[in-house]
Structure 1
Amino acid sequence: MIIYELKVKGKDKQYRAIDEAIRTSQFIQNKCLRYWMDNKNVGKYDLSKYCAILAAEFPFADQLNSMARQSAAERSWSAISRFYNNCKKKINGKKGFPKFKKNCRSVEYKTSGWKLSKTRKAISFSDKKGIGTLNLKGTYDLNYYDIKQIKRVRLVRRADGYYAQFVLDVDVKVKTQPTNQVVGIDLGLKYFIADSRGNVEPSPQFYRKSEKQLNRANRKKSKKFNQAKNKAKLRQSNNYYKARNRYARKHLRVSRQRKEYCKRLAYSVIQSNDLVAYEDLNVKGLVKNRHLAKSISDAGWSTFRSWVEYFGHKYGKVTVAVPPNNTSQNCSNCGKKVNKSLSTRTHICTHCGYVEDRDVNASINILNLGLSTVGHTGNYAWGDLPSWGIGVNQLSNGESLNQESLSL
């Protein structure tokens, strides 16, 4: 599967219709979740049948395309099945019990309810929500693919406008010449990556550089928030929503900067090597450190890893996730353990006298671990996804599976 994203242009009336379709999809999703909570032995097909009952009971739900209603039910079942799987695996901590959605930003259509124009530069929606015909703006050309290959169309609302995402049933793989090179990568905060050859890439810190602007925009938004209206459950002023949108657009810009940086760096790493070994970091656990949480989130380690896995799958390269235990403490020259604090940036082995940068020493250890287990590894990226969809495999039946590299 590959996913193409194009921006849609329309009138304000059409945008309001898209918002209404999104709210309806959220309503059906929450209703299906409530139906599962109130009844025993409810399965995926029971939720699909329940959509017809909702359409008969609520006129605004009947206005939404039938396959869009089924897609909303499948989203609910995706959360439910994930909860069941976590319980079966007996993972530590919370198992991810499904929650009701409050701020959905997308509505998904399957193979009906929409139609592309002859030039593939516009798309029309035929349900009763009144979305109508929307122009498509972007560099992707849908003329290369057959209509039957488009399995899903999703309308997404973001701070800077509305987008259409097309899920295409295409398996894209590119054959490349081997480079006969291998590399180990250590992820850090001082350097974003340090490889086993001694090369380092500084951390861009996009959020830190934009933090003053973000805080200023947040203060302006807060000044326009009326607490009395909030208690009375009244709508805020138009100036508040304008300030909130400006604040959201700044955050969106930072997010896109980080994703594009990780994408370019991962592409360069994959194109230059036949095997890439990296740490299997538990980022969710690391951000619990209140002193480093902001810096770790700003680094974008998970995004970089996902892009490495994706490009590794696309270009037929091997990506290996190794345990990070003691990779910074052990000496890459003699293998002895040399305890050091996080503030110690230079590795000095007291056993063999080897001196190297802390991160470079760790990257060499990561490469050695990756090479020692390379016979049991493979490519772990699942399909061709854009930057916003990395880490999720969109199946043809609408379910989403979170996936990571297999740890060794």
Structure 2
Amino acid sequence: MIILEFKAYGKKHQYLAIEEAIRTVKFVRNSCLRLWIDNRGISKYDLNKYCRVLAKDFDFASELNSTARQAAAERAWSSIARFYDNCNKKVSGKKGFPRFQKHCRSVEYKQSGWKLSPDKKSITFTDKKGIGKLKLKGTWDLWRFDKKQIKRARIVKRADGYYVQFCVSVDVKEQLKPADATVGLDVGLKDFYTDSRGKTEPNPRFYRTGEKRLKFYQRRVSRKKKGSTNRKKAINRLARHHLSISRRREEHAKRLARCVVRSNDLVAYEDLRVKNLVKNHCLAKSINDAGWYQFRKWLEHFGQKFGRVTVAVNPAYTSQNCSDCGEVVKKSLSTRTHICQCGCQLGRDHNAAINILNRALGTVGHTGTWVIDPNPCGELTSTLPDSGLVEQVGSLKQESPRL
């Protein structure tokens, strides 16, 4: 399953119709959530039936395609199911009780309510919202796929315009020749990562480099009168710069992950809980700017696509243990060189990368994504609730058109 994204072009009245459709989706989703709060124990199918009741009671809801209303109800049920799942797993802290949505940025259609042109360079939405025909611009070859393979179409609003996404059911696996190489990766703030061969990848720090410009746009927002048109324009300009930074960070992580996976048969990395790491307010900005989560997400995706082994290793003591003799050499974060009594002298991150690879080599022969816990028995522990390691990343479906 892959997601193809195109920039959508239309007229002003069409954009207003898209905004109205998005507001209707938010209304249906929040109404379904209110029904669940007032009547605990109802199922997913009860929410789908409630969409028909909303269409009868409200004219603006009936104008939206029925499958789009069902997709909105599914959004409500996904938040409910996630809450129940967290309660059953006894996740510590807040369980994520479903909340009413304040901002909505997309409307999703299933296999009805839209029609592609014969050349597949435009799409027409046929419901009563009046969106009409939108031109599509992108680098994907949509004509290669049959319409039956397109399971859903989604309109997404972003700061720089509107986009149309197609969910296509297609096998994305590729077969590569064995690379006869394995690698361990230790991510950091000074360097983006250091591998077990001692090679480093510089950290681009996209947010830090664009922070000066962000402050400039933020000052322009604060100087405008609240509720004015000029303030909305200034907010849009600020949001577009944020979007540019996030896109560059995502593309950087994507390209590095693809290169690493293609050139190695086994890739080992740390099973970091970024959500917990950013609680350190001194390092939170730098950690978020590094994009470790995006990098791991793409590593696992390309590992599945190219049939490579990706292994998530418990990071405990990878920096303290000696990669040569295994002796514990305690060091602070400011100590960047590992020096052991056995004569081993390496960079701190290089030593950690070797330890990560050594812990992961026990999974040779297994394919897919594994999480390794260095217990005394040396057993493999997958990401099950009882394993002590909670799975952090789901499978990814979207790729860059230039990959």
Which letter does structure 2 place at the counterpart of 1:267? R
Which letter does structure 1 place at the counterpart of 2:17? A
User: How far is 1:383 from its partner?
Assistant: 5.7
Gaps of 5+ in 2: 371-393
Aligned equivalents of 1:328 and 1:387: distance in 2? 34
Q: Bigger shift: 70-79 or 365-374?
A: 365-374
Mapped contact 1:171–1:383 kept (Cα < 8 A): no
SS of 2:368's partner is coil
How many equivalent residue pairs? 378
- Please say if 1:318 is aligned against 2:309: yes
Aligned equivalents of 2:88 and 2:218: distance in 1? 42
Aligned equivalents of 1:2 and 1:281: distance in 2? 27
1:239-278 aligned at under 5 Å gives the runs 239-278=230-269
TM-score (norm 2): 0.92
Aligned equivalents of 2:361 and 2:212: distance in 1? 44
Q: Select the residue among 345, 350, 359 that pairs with 2:336.
A: 345
Aligned equivalents of 2:339 and 2:369: distance in 1? 35
Cα RMSD for the two superposed structures:
1.3
Aligned equivalents of 1:131 and 1:88: distance in 2? 42
Q: Select the residue among 292, 297, 303 that pairs with 1:306.
A: 297
- Please say if 1:332 is aligned against 2:323: yes
Deviations 1:10-47 (A, max 9, x none): 00110110011011001100110111000021110000
User: How far is 1:375 from its partner?
Assistant: 5.0
Deviations 1:273-331 (A, max 9, x none): 00000000000000000000000000000000011111111111000001000001111
SS of 1:340's partner is coil
Aligned equivalents of 2:139 and 2:363: distance in 1? 41
User: How far is 1:214 from its partner?
Assistant: 0.3
Mapped contact 2:309–2:366 kept (Cα < 8 A): no
User: How far is 1:372 from its partner?
Assistant: 2.2
Q: Which residue of 2 aligns with 1:382?
A: 395
Q: Which residue of 2 aligns with 1:8?
A: 8
Aligned equivalents of 1:122 and 1:199: distance in 2? 46
Which letter does structure 2 place at the counterpart of 1:72? A
Q: Which residue of 1 aligns with 2:386?
A: none
Distance 1:104 1:386, change over 3 A: farther
Aligned equivalents of 1:58 and 1:2: distance in 2? 35
Aligned equivalents of 1:368 and 1:379: distance in 2? 16
User: How far is 1:382 from its partner?
Assistant: 3.4
Aligned equivalents of 1:66 and 1:214: distance in 2? 41
1:273-292 aligned at under 5 Å gives the runs 273-292=264-283
User: How far is 1:379 from its partner?
Assistant: 3.6
Calculate percent identity across the aligned residue pairs. Answer: 62
Q: Which residue of 2 aligns with 1:296?
A: 287
Q: Which residue of 1 aligns with 2:185?
A: 185
Deviations 1:105-140 (A, max 9, x none): 000000000000000000000111100000000011
Which letter does structure 2 place at the counterpart of 1:286? L
Aligned equivalents of 2:330 and 2:362: distance in 1? 24
- Please say if 1:129 is aligned against 2:142: no
Aligned equivalents of 1:375 and 1:365: distance in 2? 19
Aligned equivalents of 1:203 and 1:346: distance in 2? 19
Aligned equivalents of 1:258 and 1:218: distance in 2? 21
Aligned equivalents of 1:225 and 1:185: distance in 2? 49
- Please say if 1:364 is aligned against 2:354: yes
Distance 1:387 1:39, change over 3 A: farther
Which letter does structure 1 place at the counterpart of 2:357? L
Aligned equivalents of 1:281 and 1:199: distance in 2? 21
Q: Which residue of 2 aligns with 1:396?
A: none
Which letter does structure 1 place at the counterpart of 2:336? R
User: How far is 1:377 from its partner?
Assistant: 5.7
1:158-173 aligned at under 5 Å gives the runs 158-173=158-173
Aligned equivalents of 2:367 and 2:255: distance in 1? 24
Aligned equivalents of 2:350 and 2:99: distance in 1? 43
Aligned equivalents of 1:166 and 1:13: distance in 2? 23
Mapped contact 2:303–2:368 kept (Cα < 8 A): no
Which letter does structure 2 place at the counterpart of 1:370? A
Which letter does structure 1 place at the counterpart of 2:47? L
Deviations 1:79-101 (A, max 9, x none): 10011111101111111111111
Mapped contact 1:71–1:109 kept (Cα < 8 A): yes
Mapped contact 2:297–2:395 kept (Cα < 8 A): no
Mapped contact 2:307–2:368 kept (Cα < 8 A): no
SS of 1:166's partner is strand
User: How far is 1:172 from its partner?
Assistant: 1.3
Aligned equivalents of 1:145 and 1:54: distance in 2? 35
Aligned equivalents of 2:145 and 2:312: distance in 1? 35
Which letter does structure 2 place at the counterpart of 1:385? Q
Deviations 1:227-282 (A, max 9, x none): xxxxxxxxx11101100000000000000110111111111101110000000000
Mapped contact 1:316–1:379 kept (Cα < 8 A): no
User: How far is 1:142 from its partner?
Assistant: 1.1
